[in-house]
Structure 1
Amino acid sequence: MRRLGLLFLCLLQFSCSSQVKKKINGVSFVASRNQVLQEHIDDVKEVYANHAAIMPFGFIRDVASPEIVFNTERQWFGETNKGAKQYIDMLHKNGIKTMVKPQIWIWRGEFTGTLHMNSEEDWKKLEVAYDKFILANAKMAQETQSEIFCIGTELEKFVTNRPEYWHELIGKIRAVYDGKLTYAANWDEYSRVPFWKDLDYIGIDAYFPLSEEKTPSVEALREGWKRWKTDIAALSEKVDHPVLFTEFGYRSMDYTAHKPWLVDKNEDEVNLVAQVNAKKAIFEEFWNEEWFAGGYVWKWFIDHKKSGGEKDNRFTPQNKPAQEIIKEVYKKY
């Protein structure tokens, strides 16, 4: 009997050690003019995604304007609270968890990290406006029982100049929302965010420069990750929170890992291999790490059948070889 007991314990230990820890395997579910249908969710399930980021939008006139316009009839359906609720309900019905990730769009596509007021009066106006915007979305996240709420996306100067405001805002959000919290820091901002301890995940939009080659190999890209990964892991240990890539992705074009954040409309040559290699490298570097929670692929359009394709040099992996890499990894984890 003793030998049988020892054998059972060994088998149990082997079984536990061989299990792969489940990750947040997400897609950034792009807002559309239309309601989401079951066929759209089926395409998400096809790549074994278990999470989706839902992104309602607020709009600002310029980088010095304190006014935020949001949740209006002039916006696309998916950018509003009503649309976000419909998306979340459909995803939840299919067993896919959600992160509500409100985003700001500054006219002409100005980078949100440069949002900076010119007076104390305008800073206070911005704080009032952002309170209304973010708390309306936090309440919606609570109503829909969304699992994660992102308190902001790439707002470096706002965070740097008004740290006390953000500490207070987190308290206000906690009062109306009881799920997990994160913030989506830009890749070159995350190390200076002052409120990580107040949240549940260290959120990073992971557009780190990795290689200047036209078509870098997986090995070269993994080598490029080394200088960044050490610091990311160290912050996770210091704050004692897991890291979540609130966005990660690469364009299917030449030099995709040189400046991965580029969203311009350049016509650089389509390079499907470079996108595949970059995806493989990020998965191989991070998805096995205990301190890493997972991430959300940038980006996934609702109408899958009409999205991406092998002539497209944009971020989406849809209908490209990179989609199969995502499917393979997401199925495993």
Structure 2
Amino acid sequence: MYSSRTYNKGKLMNFKVLRSLEIPVFCILLLAVIHSCQSPQQLEEKINGISLVASRDSILPGQVLPIKEIHANAVALMPFGFLEKLDSPHLKFNMERQWFGEREEGVRKSIRMLRTNKMKVMLKPQIWIWRGEFTGDIKMNSEADWKEFEKNYRNFILLYAQVAAEEKVDIFTLGTELYGFVHERQNFWSVLIADVRRIYKGQLTYAENWDKVEKVTFWRELDYVGVDAYFPLNSERSPEVEKLRSAWQSYKVKLEDLSHEVEQPILFTEYGYRNTDYATEYPWESSRETNSFNDDLQANALTALYEEFWKENWFAGGFLWKWHQDHENAGGLGNNQFTPQNKPAQEVVKKYYGNTLIN
């Protein structure tokens, strides 16, 4: 059943608005029935995305085929900028020494290849800090350093906003997991959103970490609430699907409430699990120290997520973390990292991405 607020073509339609216009209740109910009885072909597809790891080389046509075979219809591309440390204002990007897929030339070629293959594209610039420190903790030591960092970050984002505009990218992301920066410099972000809107006319989002998404103040200015969905679910070694579905309920209520409050659909800008024991306790954990393997848990965790979210009309879809260009040599049973490639989880993704329409 549809709720009073219905997601359709990227927006939420509130039937209470109709009531406020003194439209008779019978007409409102009739509209609701007509809307809910549309054939699935009339409704928009979910965003069934993968996050493509940048490579040293251009993506080839044959490397797009495995992505399409799991019924993915969208790909996130991630050009990177680099900081030496959390308080360094000197953001470096689009450098010759970066991998081809991380800089402008490679991004453009990847976009063109994906669009030729009828894939949607989300362009998602990200920052990497040496030694892997968390970007949400970025904090400058002085106003002068903040201004320098803002200038560099603006140049970084506007470069790729221009790429997104020229290459007709479907979704552009203003940043990834930068809550400290977002909180400290709110005026900067309001101006940046306006600047990007002048360049890029597509759909706009920002990707915030799961524990800070409700604190972001500018969701109404965007087109999606972007969530990097590494919510802790269960501390057991290998919980079953039903336990994981149960664990989602409190988070799910908060996300739906947020979606209705800001009148924007939720988009999982990242989601995924490793095939290790305890993978749902701290899903963001990427350490290579663990030597356990748990293919069942990775498959169960993805199943629970798809079952809970993919049928919701306030939920737009998401981008699986992550997918490697060289599919034949990626993942596999000897690999316990995030990719589902050549693991049982790949069939789970294929199954649920094969049913892409809003019910």
* Distance in 1 (alpha carbons) for counterparts of 2:194 and 2:181: 18
Q: Secondary structure at the match of 2:39?
A: helix
TM superposition shift of 1:267: 2.2
- AA aligned to 1:44 is I
* Distance in 1 (alpha carbons) for counterparts of 2:262 and 2:238: 36
* Distance in 2 (alpha carbons) for counterparts of 1:113 and 1:309: 32
Is 1:107 matched up with 2:137? no
What corresponds to 2:334 in structure 1? 311
Output one character per residue of 1:174-201: Cα deviation in whole Å (capped at 9) or x when no partner: 0110000000000111010011011000
TM superposition shift of 1:221: 0.3
TM superposition shift of 1:18: 8.7
What corresponds to 2:8 in structure 1? none
Residues 63 and 323 from structure 1, CA distance in 2 versus in 1: closer, same or farther, beyond 3 angstroms? Answer: same
Output one character per residue of 1:261-303: Cα deviation in whole Å (capped at 9) or x when no partner: 0011122310000000000000000000000000000000100
TM superposition shift of 1:13: 8.1
- Number of residue pairs matched? 324
* Distance in 2 (alpha carbons) for counterparts of 1:170 and 1:84: 22
Residues 17 and 94 from structure 1, CA distance in 2 versus in 1: closer, same or farther, beyond 3 angstroms? Answer: closer
Match for 1:293 among 316, 327, 330?
A: 316
What corresponds to 2:19 in structure 1? none
Residues 182 and 13 from structure 1, CA distance in 2 versus in 1: closer, same or farther, beyond 3 angstroms? Answer: closer
Structure 1 runs of 4+ with >2 Å offset: 12-15, 17-21
Match for 1:34 among 53, 57, 63?
A: 57
Is 1:122 matched up with 2:145? yes
- AA aligned to 1:189 is K
What corresponds to 1:250 in structure 2? 273
* Distance in 2 (alpha carbons) for counterparts of 1:284 and 1:163: 36
Do the aligned partners of 1:254 and 1:268 also contact (CA within 8 Å) in 2?
Answer: no
* Distance in 2 (alpha carbons) for counterparts of 1:207 and 1:128: 30
Is 1:174 matched up with 2:191? no
Q: Secondary structure at the match of 1:332?
A: coil
* Distance in 1 (alpha carbons) for counterparts of 2:219 and 2:201: 17
Q: Secondary structure at the match of 1:288?
A: coil
User: Counterparts of 1:87-236 in structure 2 under 5 Å?
Assistant: 87-236=110-259
- AA aligned to 1:241 is Q
- AA aligned to 1:128 is K
User: Counterparts of 1:15-26 in structure 2 under 5 Å?
Assistant: 16=39, 21-26=44-49
Q: TM-score normalized by structure 2?
A: 0.88
Query: Which structure 1 residue ranges, 5 or more long, are not aligned?
Result: 1-9
TM superposition shift of 1:15: 6.5
TM superposition shift of 1:171: 0.2
TM superposition shift of 1:14: 6.0
Q: Secondary structure at the match of 1:27?
A: strand
- AA aligned to 2:142 is S
User: Counterparts of 1:60-79 in structure 2 under 5 Å?
Assistant: 60-79=83-102
TM superposition shift of 1:17: 6.1
Q: Secondary structure at the match of 1:126?
A: helix
Is 1:264 matched up with 2:279? no
* Distance in 1 (alpha carbons) for counterparts of 2:78 and 2:206: 13
TM superposition shift of 1:82: 0.5
Residues 18 and 90 from structure 1, CA distance in 2 versus in 1: closer, same or farther, beyond 3 angstroms? Answer: closer
Q: Percent identity?
A: 50
Q: TM-score normalized by structure 1?
A: 0.95
* Distance in 2 (alpha carbons) for counterparts of 1:240 and 1:94: 32
TM superposition shift of 1:155: 0.4
* Distance in 2 (alpha carbons) for counterparts of 1:37 and 1:159: 37
Note the aligned Cα RMSD (angstroms): 1.6
- AA aligned to 1:280 is T
What corresponds to 1:3 in structure 2? none
* Distance in 2 (alpha carbons) for counterparts of 1:315 and 1:126: 31
What corresponds to 2:11 in structure 1? none
Do the aligned partners of 1:57 and 1:79 also contact (CA within 8 Å) in 2?
Answer: yes
What corresponds to 2:14 in structure 1? none
Q: Secondary structure at the match of 1:116?
A: coil
Residues 192 and 57 from structure 1, CA distance in 2 versus in 1: closer, same or farther, beyond 3 angstroms? Answer: same
What corresponds to 1:273 in structure 2? 296
